[in-house]
Amino acid sequence: MKDGERWVVVGLGNPGDRYSGNRHNAGAMALEVLLRRAGASLRKHKSGALVGEGAVGGERVVLARPAVLMNDSGRPVQGLLRWYKSSPERLIVIHDELDIRFGGVRVKQGGGTAGHNGLRSLVSHLSGADFNRVRIGISRPRADRDSVGYVLGDFSAAERKDLPDLLERAADATERIIEAGPEAAMNTFNSH
């Protein structure tokens, strides 16, 4: 990691109104919180992402959302890192996570994809998994429910009541990574 390298924060989700309330869009929803905090707005970028710039955690950062379906997220993120000359170590990806109960937020460095196609695309295009992750718990569906239909379904009415707090905590975890590093963020967010 070179001094002066900018942080790139990516919120994963699917574009369009049809998907806006889906569990799979939790990362994009948390990015909206960060955009609001930074006073930034998204604009089209030649990478195939929507991009805003602002200050997060006291540093200038790039806030982005791929303008493609989740499963193709790797290509625009790769383009962003090239454009901003940032390394994967300075990338934070915010995404939904089936293996964490709804309401949980966890920070992770590297690791596998756990069947998450957005992460799979990123790992493929970035030639590795050495990026930071803010994982937003959405819980697993009941045994009689299909995972794909579940993640592409909207949050329940009960979940929507707690969703704003969950998204704020995901934004807090992202800021903590930028301010103090991934280890400190893990110590703060992975202990409860």
Residue positions annotated with a catalytic role: 24
Closest to 33 measured CA to CA, from 177, 173, 186: 173
Cα distances (angstroms) measured from residue 182 to each of 4, 83, 91, 130, 132 = 17, 23, 11, 12, 7
For residue 112 the two structure tokens come to 């596998």
Spell out a b/e string for 37-48, using b for 16 or more CB atoms within 10 Å of the CB, else e: bbebebeebebb
The number of beta carbons lying within 10 Å of the beta carbon of residue 2 is: 9
Q: Which residue is associated with the tokens 């604009």? A: 43
Q: What is the rounded CA–CA span in Å between residue 101 and residue 86?
A: 32
Sign of CA dihedral 69, 141, 22, 186: negative
